[in-house]
Amino acid sequence: MTQEVRFITKNFGKYDPMSIDSYLSIGGFEALKRAVEMDGEDIASVIADAKVKGRGGAAYDMGRKWSQARAVKGDHKLNICNADEGEPCTFKDRELIKNDPFNLIEGMIIGGYTVKAQDGYIYMREEYRHLRPLLLNAIKQCEERGFLGHNILGKGFDYHIHLYSGAGAYVCGEGTALIRSIEGKAGRPRMKPPFIKVSGAFALPTCVNNVESFSIVPHLLMDDEHEYTSYGSGESIGTKLVSVAGNVRNPGVFEVPFGTPVRDIIYDLAKGINGGYGLRLIQFGGASGKITDKRILDVPYTYDDLKAAGVTVGSGAILVIDERTSVLDFLRMTQDFFSHESCGQCTPCREGNRHAKIILKKIADGVATEDDIKTLKKIGSIMTLASLCGLGETAQCATLSAMEIFPETFAVGGAK
Amino acid sequence: MTAEKAQAYPIGPELAQKIDHVLDAHDHDATQIVGVLLDVQDLIAEQYVPESVAFYVAQKLPIKVSIIYDCLTFYAALSDKPRAKFPIQICRSVVCKVNDSDSLLERLEKILNIGVGDVTYDGRFTIEEVPCFGACDIAPAVRINGKVYGHLNTDESVKELLAQFI
Ligand SMILES: Cc1cc2nc3c(=O)[nH]c(=O)nc-3n(C[C@H](O)[C@H](O)[C@H](O)COP(=O)(O)O)c2cc1C
Ligand code: SF4
Ligand code: FES
């Protein structure tokens, strides 16, 4: 029987998320006190040594990101917490904010100190507005106690946090779109370079991290027993929050050590498929992720093993679909999401999604030709190569992977 | 131009005062326009930002009214058209779909006697289809004015939900 572990989530339920005193009573801000006695470069090394990869989806080496951000010159620098969490089937950041807001703030302050930022922004999706009071309260209490503001802990370091709201646009999770939204504009992505780390929000050097990425940091700095690095192996060290949903009996967020077999996550933690139906497919990492079938069940959940099996960790979402939904119906639902969320600014993504949707419908109607299937594949690869932002680049991941795993779906002449 | 327009479409002193409060709470900071518009929209019974209000905010902040309209049309959570007192946002993304959000939608349509996008005769409800709002663990789910309601698999659960707003 697989057990969940409690490293990133160890504070859940241990304190009152509305009270800084309650947080202090369980050792809150001890990590910050430790951090301000350290050189920023050493903090980045602790993160790099634990091989923490960003948890927003792109899995960029986090220690390296902080070290690079620290090295960028500038009198005024920023860091941003990406709490946009718009990937369908992803709801782990919601749990971190709801259960442990002070730890997130502490992680951001340590981040600000490390990369030498004076201002931090939390960009939270509008859909989580019920969590705003929690964060506003945490920010206010931290200001009152001198953990935020001027001369923090008497170390001559100033840092403020501002809470910004999204307004229902998935694309705003993409870094440059998010930044435009924070600047008070419509959140359309822009071309890079300039890169965000050099010219981000308000054209200032900016370091963007996911909620879970920040949340790991305080625990890691206090981890004298090296618990974190005792989990996992190779490039996949530590633990990960996964959000499992779909046709499972016990959907939810679970913290699992890297290396846990996918089967244990789905059948032990999420309690298997509802109603005894057979498994159709599993999608990893949200709507922008790839899909596979039961062949993945005995693969250990690590960056490398999933990659070798043709999927990715992504946002940490695991979507389980049973046999009542056909592969094609699933792809059409996913396509609807991207057709709706494409900002329409660049041609490959705008037109590609339009035509992919049409071809998927033709397959469903049994009128697709072999040429249509070839076109669908071509659209997918062109979008991946030529789209302006990650949304268009990944919109066809599900369909392209389905072509590998479920070729029968694309056998023309009426496929189901 | 903005000032003239704002004068051409005056808004009542009560609403103006409430909007001023929202602007104060956002430090009259134009970068916070998205948050401002969300809060302002909440002040209007029909959950939208009327033209008169758009011009008022533009003049007060100040900010170009074109930026306000760029935001109103770009962001799905903002509307420049009247909605309803309680817009029922039903999630149409995959997790809710495979947990039978189709039946949920049918139930809503039947009980309220409206289709997607329509408003009930009393201006109370409308049904809007929206993408995943991160309540996948309690699918199928809806959101009404910011609050999430899940596990809506039965007639009873849907009736119970709607009864709260009558
Ligand atoms: C369309 C799109 C949506 C994204 N949505 C999110 C999101 O909701 N949350 C998030 O943390 N990262 C999201 N990302 C990834 C971010 O751009 C970025 O890589 C991440 O926030 C960096 O933080 P990390 O290094 O800690 O992972 C998205 C990317 C794209 C292209
Ligand atoms: S890839 Fe899609 S979402 Fe991204 S900029 Fe182009 S049209 Fe917009
Ligand atoms: S899919 Fe419906 S809330 Fe996520």
Q: Which of A296, A322, A348 lies at the terminal end of a domain, its last residue? A: A322
As to burial, measured by CB atoms within 10 angstroms (0-12 exposed, 13-18 middle, 19+ buried), residue A251 is buried
Residues 316-345 of A with CB under 8 A from B: 319, 321-322, 324-325, 330, 333-334, 336-337, 340-341, 343
pLDDT of A1? 63
- The Cβ of residue B131 has, within 10 Å, a number of other Cβ atoms equal to 23
CATH label of the domain that carries residue A116: 3.40.50.11540
Please indicate, yes or no, whether residues A158 and A57 belong to a single structural domain of this protein.
yes
Distance from CA of A320 to the nearest CA of B (A): 9
**Ligand having the closest approach to the CA of A96:** 1
Say which ligand is closest to the CA of A211.
1
CA of residue A204 relative to chain centroid, distance? 24
Q: pLDDT value at position A415?
A: 44
The answer on pLDDT for B144 being more than 80 is yes
User: Among A263, A293, A322, where does a domain finish?
Assistant: A322
ipTM of the complex, rounded to two decimals: 0.95
Q: Per the domain annotation, does A117 fall within a domain?
A: yes
Cα Rg of chain B (Å, integer): 18
Instruction: Specify if A1 maps to a domain.
Output: no
Per the prediction, chain B carries an average pLDDT of: 94
Which parts of chain A register pLDDT below 50?
414-416
Its pTM stands at: 0.97
Mean pLDDT to the nearest integer, B63-68? 96
Go through the domains of chain B in sequence order and give each one's CATH number: 3-74 (no CATH), 86-163 (3.40.30.10)
Q: A261 with A139, same domain?
A: no
User: Which CATH number belongs to the domain containing residue A318 in this structure?
Assistant: 3.10.20.600
Per DSSP, the residues of A57-97 read TT--BHHHHHHHHHHS--SS-EEEEEE---STT--HHHHHH
pLDDT computed for residue B8 by the predictor: 66
The rounded radius of gyration (Å) of the Cα atoms in chain A is: 22
Enclosing domain of residue A352: 327-410
Ligand 3 mean position, distance from CA B140 (Å): 7
Q: Tell me which of A189, A221, A253 is where a domain ends.
A: A221
Question: How far does residue A193's CA lie from ligand 2's centre (Å)?
Answer: 16
- Asked if the model's pLDDT at residue B163 lies above 60, the reply is yes
Q: Hey, what are A376's tokens?
A: 């669908």
A303 lies in some domain? yes
Give per-residue pLDDT as tens, A13-66: 999 999 999 999 999 999 999 999 999 999 999 999 999 999 999 999 999 999
- What is the percent of chain B where pLDDT is above 90? 93
